[in-house]
Structure 1
Amino acid sequence: MYTMKSGSLVTNPARQFASVPVIKLGPEFKKVGSYLERFGSTPDVLELDHLTVSGDVAFGSSVSLKGTVIIVANPGSKIMIPKGAVLENKVITGNLHILDH
């Protein structure tokens, strides 16, 4: 989302939105340890406008989030976003497990 220019952070010129993305995370992400457990790596948010995540949700590595993405796991359910997934303007609810084989 940012690049270095003459020793200063500037917005990446490839970003299509002028502002930073709005990110709303549920209470499951409140503690640093819980937050870190839920991300395989930092998602690519260069093209993200809005992200809302609620419930038991985890992200694999190398995930890209674009546009508006809303992910809500049902109580007692878990949503696993697989590594390398690209989510663009998506609403995901319920439970989801995608396994590599």
Structure 2
Amino acid sequence: MSPRREFPTTPHVKLGSSFTKEYVNRFESIPDMLELDHLTVSGDVTLGKNVSLKGTVIIIANHGDRIDIPAGSMLENKIVSGNLRIMDH
């Protein structure tokens, strides 16, 4: 754990079953979690490079839907659900 973390507790992280086998394919890089308290991710979700997560973040893709968090995103105390695909062109 980073000594720069304000509180000495580890963030509470819950990953859905989609992350058991495909963990490496779902994260382009490890998100910045220095200020993260709680993370829940479920469903077909991917995170781009340099994503920052702060506070409580919940990301849930509905069955049959997909959520792609773009590179460089910062999510702080957010709930993301449903279907979200942002594509570079």
TM-score normalised to the size of structure 2?
0.94
Distance (whole Å) between structure 2 residues aligned to residue 17 and residue 70 of structure 1: 21
Q: From 24, 30, 36, give the equivalent of 1:42.
A: 30
The structure showing larger relative contact order (alpha-carbon pairs under 8 Å, at least 6 residues apart) is 2
**Corresponding residue number in structure 1 for 2:39:** 51
Which residue pairs with 1:99 in the alignment? Answer: 87
Identity among equivalent positions (%) equals: 61
Task: Mark the runs of 5 or more structure 2 residues left unpaired by the alignment.
Answer: none
Q: Which has the larger radius of gyration?
A: 1
Contact 1:24 1:51 in 2 (8 A): yes
How many residue pairs were aligned?
Answer: 89
Task: Judge conservation of contact 1:17–1:49 (CA < 8 Å) in 2.
Answer: no
Moved over 2 A (4+): none
Give the unaligned 5+ runs of structure 1: 3-11
* Matched letter for residue 18 of structure 2: E
Match of 1:89 in 2: 77
What is the CA deviation profile of residues 16-47 of structure 1, one whole-angstrom value per residue up to 9, with x for unaligned ones?
Answer: 3331000000000012xx00000000000000
* 1:24 paired to 2:31: no
Alpha-carbon deviation of 1:86? Answer: 0.3
Work out which of the residue numbers 39, 48, 67 in structure 1 matches 2:55: 67
